[in-house]
Structure 1
Amino acid sequence: MFFHNTMRPFTLCCTFILGISPVCGQMESEVYLSDFESRHGVFEVSAPINISRNPGYDNQPYFLGDDDLLYARTRNGQTDIARYSLSDQKTVWLSDTPGGSEYSPVKIPGKEAVSSIRLDTTGLQRLYSYPLEGGPPELLNADLKIGYHIWYSPELLVCTVLTEDRMDLVVVNLRDKSQYTFQQGAGRSLHRIPDSEHISYTAVEKGKVVVKSMHPISGATEVIAVLPEGVQDMYWLDASHLICGQGNELISFNTRDKGPWKSFYALENPKSKITRLAYNGPSGVLAMVIETQD
């Protein structure tokens, strides 16, 4: 395990551009890591350790393999992609773009590169590829104002796109340049469902945020769960367990028994708020974004 803290067993006014970039507000976000184990419905979580320790917006964690964590980190008034090593606990920069900020890093399948949203100071927002070993970024799509994205294959991209006053879920084929809108009013949480050919996304339906599955090729879809009130983000622990943060608590949902959401961990500070999550099963590490009031 990465950490050696005692683990605790449990049973089961801010404005954003596309929900990405905080342009005003009073919440500071930091990235924390915890050891995490799941055994027959019992989750064990160690006390989280702050690995960003940086004023401003530190957010959107993404595990790159078993040892590296990528996240958006504030630097010199903008946001770049940082790469944190779990083994040596050191941080290096993956991007350095004067006049622009990067968000939402995701590994591109089949390439030694990461895709990321770049928001320029001019207001231009586009998806770029950044080589892991350094080098100039490459523009991947010049037509769409993408907010969040996930790769289904090296050619097929599932993303949320700003359209008028909403975000739409769009499937883009980068090889033949085709694209189609799958659903209007999509949310910001996109994930590959473990052990499945489907991805999950969130959407607002009848005033509630629902988690839905979709097959980008066949178009098959179904509702998986309804997120608790006030929650926008979730993550898959495995093929049947969802987790999310609600206030200062971590809660889980079993997609097989369809029971209620259950709390299994709480931060000591009741004013803290857990938002985005990322989990790496082989290393047994959970990344949490925790916001605290100034």
Structure 2
Amino acid sequence: MRSLVLISTTLGISSLRGQTESEVYLSSFISKDGVFEVSVPMNISRNPGYDNQPYFLSDEDLLYARTRNGQTDIARYSLAGQKTTWLSDTPGGSEYSPVKIPGKDAISSIRLDTTGLQRLYSYPLEGGQTDLVNADLKIGYHLWYNSEVLVCTVLIEDRMDLVVLNLKDKSQYTFQKSVGRSLHRIPDSDRISYTAIEEGKVLVKSLNPESGATTVLTELPSGVQDLCWVDAKHIICGQGHELKSFNTSGKGSWKSFYALEDPTSKITRLAYNGPSGVLAMVVETQD
């Protein structure tokens, strides 16, 4: 496991001030038998505006949505070189939620045009022509189950529905209405996890997109929308300025294991890369 190098530009969260905005931080993250150790976070975005939706492209590269010139493009951060480059540059449109496409040297990302059109596109990692993945649905969030099956949340009026698309035979099936934004592949399994909004609660459910088998795993803490899998059993999330964990194999409760210095800061989205031992977290701060 490679440790994240924290250089002299590392700042504690409490040192950030200004209007509410989101930044992307990295920490070394050690996980052993449900016990977690987190290093002091390093701000890698340092950019006014919306810096969010981290996704590990590889053990060495992190993608995230980053504000530039009044819109949002996909940035690529090298952990080894500690350098940021741009993966997308779309005049008249902003990109969000980057995800690697299985079997291709490309990512998929939500594009929101200035006209209001919202669609899913593919972007070659080395640049070049972008392609429309689906022309019909207004997709909010997505993940690839395999190279042919796409699991996504689709905006329908004032809600999102969980839809599984088969791009090969063009079929689609709605598994549940009124779902949340957190979609993940469960490690070492044939299932994905999603969040469902039921009776004012945000439930974490597992789903096999092929068989349709669904199981309720737990309920997220109050006010939480996002989660992250550390391994096949453990989920972590941010609630306020704290990180919390839950063991899905038992009947325990959510447990706090780390807190930022600034109690007014808020941890939202998370992404974890096991081989590199690095946790990405999005932190919102305000005066």
Range class of TM-score, shorter chain: over 0.9
Match of 1:221 in 2: 214
Deviation at 1:3, TM superposition (A): 2.4
Match of 1:236 among 214, 219, 229: 229
CA distance in 1, matches of 2:135, 2:197: 27
CA distance in 1, matches of 2:140, 2:54: 15
> Within the alignment, does 1:272 sit opposite 2:265 as a pair?
yes
Question: Which structure 1 segments of 5+ residues have no match?
Answer: 6-25
Instruction: Report how many residues are paired.
Output: 274
Match of 1:152 among 141, 145, 148: 145
Letter in 1 for 2:207: M
Deviation at 1:27, TM superposition (A): 2.3
Q: Deviations over 1:181-239 (max 9, x none)?
A: 11000100000000000000001112100000001111000100100000000000000
Q: What percent of counterpart residues are identical?
A: 78
* Contact 1:83–1:93, Cα closer than 8 Å, also in 2: yes
* Contact 2:6–2:42, Cα closer than 8 Å, also in 1: no
Deviation at 1:261, TM superposition (A): 0.3
Match of 1:187 among 166, 173, 180: 180
Of structures 1 and 2, the one with the larger relative CO (CA 8 A, separation 6+) is 2
> Within the alignment, does 1:254 sit opposite 2:256 as a pair?
no
Match of 2:5 in 1: 3
Match of 1:263 in 2: 256
* Contact 2:25–2:283, Cα closer than 8 Å, also in 1: yes
CA distance in 2, matches of 1:281, 1:81: 23
Letter in 2 for 1:69: L
* Contact 1:81–1:95, Cα closer than 8 Å, also in 2: yes
Match of 2:111 in 1: 118
> Within the alignment, does 1:163 sit opposite 2:156 as a pair?
yes
- SS of the equivalent of 2:98 reads strand
* Contact 1:102–1:118, Cα closer than 8 Å, also in 2: yes
Match of 1:211 in 2: 204
Letter in 2 for 1:70: L
* Contact 2:241–2:260, Cα closer than 8 Å, also in 1: yes
Match of 2:22 in 1: 29
Match of 1:41 in 2: 34
Q: Deviations over 1:97-150 (max 9, x none)?
A: 000000000000000000000000000000000000110210010000000000
> Within the alignment, does 1:131 sit opposite 2:124 as a pair?
yes
Letter in 2 for 1:167: M
Match of 2:94 in 1: 101
- SS of the equivalent of 1:143 reads coil
TM-score by length of 1: 0.92
Cα RMSD of the aligned pairs, angstroms, is: 0.9
Question: Which structure 2 segments of 5+ residues have no match?
Answer: 8-18
CA distance in 2, matches of 1:182, 1:255: 22
* Contact 2:192–2:206, Cα closer than 8 Å, also in 1: yes
Match of 1:175 among 154, 164, 168: 168
CA distance in 1, matches of 2:200, 2:46: 36
Letter in 1 for 2:143: I
- SS of the equivalent of 1:114 reads strand
TM-score by length of 2: 0.94
